[in-house]
Amino acid sequence: MGTADAASKDVTVRLAERKPIVVFVLGGPGSGKGTQCANIVQHFGYTHLSAGDLLRAECNSGSENGTMIQNMMNEGKIVPSEVTIELLQKAMLESGNNKFLIDGFPRNEENRAAFEAVTKIEPEFVLFFNCPQEEMERRILNRNQGREDDNIETIRKRFKVFEESSLPVIEYYKARGKVREIDAAKSIEEVFDALKVIFTTTVGKVVTT
């Protein structure tokens, strides 16, 4: 166990030395985060990291860690923050980039506190895709991804989880002047126009302690 802890500490130190720019991307299901993250990657050279994708990839890898994550998910348990943070740190180091969009994380206050405590990194800012529930429902039901979880009851449960868990994170960063709120109900073009303003005027100008 000591070796794993030492390796984890080494990753943390190496990452902190690079002083990466981290932007948290939060918003309810169907708020358009994925579409806009792809635009930001293309135009501003960020690396897009989805916490959910990293966890799924680890599960599919067949590693011991992946099996543990899969078992927890099957039992409906929440994967410990440290596990997700370790995957994020590893992906950040391996990317070779220094600018990151972290999508769908932190999901709750415990995630947030653990991320800052473990990585010693504070986000440059938090992008909050604010979208009315009716609009998010409409989008999810209209998209043809064949996702079995895209039924109205499941969607509403996901909205509820987002509101209860993620809004406190947004409030925390709002109090620190770090939230950039987007009217995500607008068209894809209008939303990206607003994002372009944020990324050309904010990055590198937020004072971090």
Q: Is 78 annotated as a binding residue?
A: yes
Q: Is residue 45 marked as binding?
A: no
* 81 within 8 A of 110, measured Cβ to Cβ: yes
Q: In what order do the strands lie in the sheet with 21-27?
A: 47-50, 99-103, 21-27, 125-130, 179-183
Is 106 annotated in some ligand binding site? yes
Tokens describing residue 199? 């990324």
State yes or no: 143 annotated in a binding site.
Answer: yes
- Label residue 112 exposed, middle or buried (CB < 10 Å: 0-12, 13-18, 19+): buried
Q: Is 56 labeled as ligand-binding?
A: yes
Q: Any binding-site annotation on 111?
A: yes
152 is in an annotated binding site: no
Is 160 part of any known ligand binding site?
no
* Residue with token string 């990839």: 57
Q: How far apart are CA 137 and CA 156, in angstroms?
A: 8
Q: Is 79 annotated as a binding residue?
A: yes
**What gap in Å lies between CA 50 and CA 31, rounded to an integer?**
15
Residue 3 in marked binding region: no
Q: Is 14 annotated as a binding residue?
A: no
Annotation-wise, does 129 bind a ligand? Answer: no
31 is in an annotated binding site: yes
CB atoms within 10 A of CB 147: 10
The reply, when asked if residue 201 is annotated as ligand binding, is no
Binding-site residues for ATP sit at: 30-35, 143, 186
Binding-site residues for CMP sit at: 111
Binding-site residues for a ribonucleoside 5'-phosphate sit at: 56, 77-79, 104-107, 147, 158
Binding-site residues sit at: 30-35, 56, 77-79, 104-107, 111, 143, 147, 158, 186
